[in-house]
Structure 1
Amino acid sequence: MNAWQKAALKWSAGISLRTYLLVGAGIVALQGLVLLAMGQPPICECGYVTLWSGALSGPETSQQLTDWYTYTHVLHGIAFYLILWLAAPGSPIGLRFALALGLEAGWEIFENTPFIINRYRESALAQGYFGDSIINSVSDTVASVGGFVVARTLPVWAIGVLVIATELFSAYMIRDNLVLNIIQLIYPSEAISSWQVGG
């Protein structure tokens, strides 16, 4: 057995890569269908689709394919890789990939419930937030896949540098990032909200 075959076996533990990809596609499709059933719009209600929306707060925030918060979803993928590596280090990487994808899809659905939408609105930056479009939500899940692959590929030190750089860049550019997002979701801070709006 050559090195490539050994790596493929470790990745899949006898289950084909195609099977894991089909499971992943099924998870993403289910995510989209659930969001549709919940009443989320398929695309931006502006009527068009763009690759990037740079507006921090506006009618296209969380509606287009990517935006400033796409970076946080890449970090989700890195975090899920780490959590599953610690929780199940001997399990096939393909299984961990499918689990990470399921976790992200589950979060995307939960994120679009009235409870979380209203919770986000307590933050100064998200007062007009009404949830994600389906294409934005699915794109966020794909971004987390990118983060998972990066975590699987890069050395630990490089992942650490990437995470810190991403968080600092986001904090500088939009006064928000994954850590601040989590804080504001769990225990909204007036001080953080004031800073975020330039106070």
Structure 2
Amino acid sequence: MTLKPHRAAWLATLALFLLTIAILFAMDRPPICTCGEIKLWHGVVESNGNSQHITDWYSPSHFTHGLIMYFFAWLLWIKLGLFGGKPARWALPIAVLVEATWEIVENTPMVIDRYRAVTVSFGYSGDSIINSAADIAWMIIGFMAASRLPTWASVALALFLELLTLWVIRDNLTLNVIMLFWPVEAIRQWQAMG
């Protein structure tokens, strides 16, 4: 049994990807940065260009999403054999569905306002469509990397990316989740010092 997607799973992944982009357009998200530029890399977190370009300091967290989703797919369908392991070959499109759902929810006024209220992202206005699409692509890359790497390497890579972004921008996937769901004022003040 394998988690590597077959042809139909890749087609489902592409369909979900395109559907997500269509939904983001329907939500009236900006296709690119309102500054009118498309940058491969935008490294200034506290700016109106953050989450507007192809990659930024939050791209590693989306790669880590892929590593995590691969782990859960392996745990559920390979290790525990849930549902007879039948969903295993569909793990990638299921992971894309989860990531795409997050990208849509993340760009709703409710979540954008939540980020502004409880994190240091006071001026956060949501993601551009190109950034959301790239975030999904980073998750796919992380998922596929996990399918080829030994477990220890996936864990080491996830820890490295978490520590790197913690050091560089005082934020990472772990702190992002904590601050979104259980805000800690001490963390917010520490992040604001950066």
- 105, 117, 125: which is aligned to 1:130? 125
Bigger drift between 21-30 and 170-179 goes to: 21-30
Q: What is the deviation of 1:98?
A: 1.0
| Helix, strand or coil at the partner of 2:117 | coil
Tell me, in whole angstroms, the C-alpha distance in 2 between the residues paired with 1:191 and 1:179.
15
Bigger drift between 19-28 and 91-100 goes to: 91-100
Q: What is the deviation of 1:197?
A: 1.3
Query: Contact 2:119/2:183 (CA < 8 Å) preserved in 1?
Result: no
What residue ranges of structure 2 are gaps of 5+ in the alignment?
A: 79-84
**Counterpart residue number, 1:21:** 10
Q: What is the deviation of 1:122?
A: 2.1
- TM-score, normalising length: structure 2: 0.91
- TM-score, normalising length: structure 1: 0.89
**Counterpart residue number, 1:86:** 75
Letter in 2 for 1:119: R
Tell me, in whole angstroms, the C-alpha distance in 2 between the residues paired with 1:104 and 1:11.
18
Query: Contact 2:118/2:179 (CA < 8 Å) preserved in 1?
Result: yes
Runs of 4+, deviation exceeding 4 Å = none
**Counterpart residue number, 2:168:** 173
Q: What is the deviation of 1:123?
A: 3.6
Q: What is the deviation of 1:189?
A: 1.2
1:51 has 2:46 as partner: no
Letter in 1 for 2:163: L
**Counterpart residue number, 2:81:** none
Q: What is the deviation of 1:94?
A: 3.2
Query: Contact 1:97/1:148 (CA < 8 Å) preserved in 2?
Result: yes
Query: Contact 2:32/2:128 (CA < 8 Å) preserved in 1?
Result: yes
Q: What is the deviation of 1:92?
A: 5.6
Tell me, in whole angstroms, the C-alpha distance in 2 between the residues paired with 1:114 and 1:130.
9
Query: Contact 1:49/1:65 (CA < 8 Å) preserved in 2?
Result: yes
1:1-199 paired onto structure 2 within 5 Å: 11=4, 17-89=6-78, 90-91=85-86, 93-198=88-193
Query: Contact 2:4/2:147 (CA < 8 Å) preserved in 1?
Result: no
Tell me, in whole angstroms, the C-alpha distance in 1 between the residues paired with 2:110 and 2:87.
35
Tell me, in whole angstroms, the C-alpha distance in 1 between the residues paired with 2:50 and 2:59.
11
| Helix, strand or coil at the partner of 1:49 | coil
CA distance 1:26–1:151, change in 2 (3 Å): same
Deviations 1:115-168 (A, max 9, x none): 111111124421100100000000000000011011111111111111111111
Tell me, in whole angstroms, the C-alpha distance in 1 between the residues paired with 2:34 and 2:99.
24
Letter in 2 for 1:197: A
Tell me, in whole angstroms, the C-alpha distance in 1 between the residues paired with 2:87 and 2:119.
42
Q: In angstroms, what is the RMSD of aligned CA positions?
A: 1.7
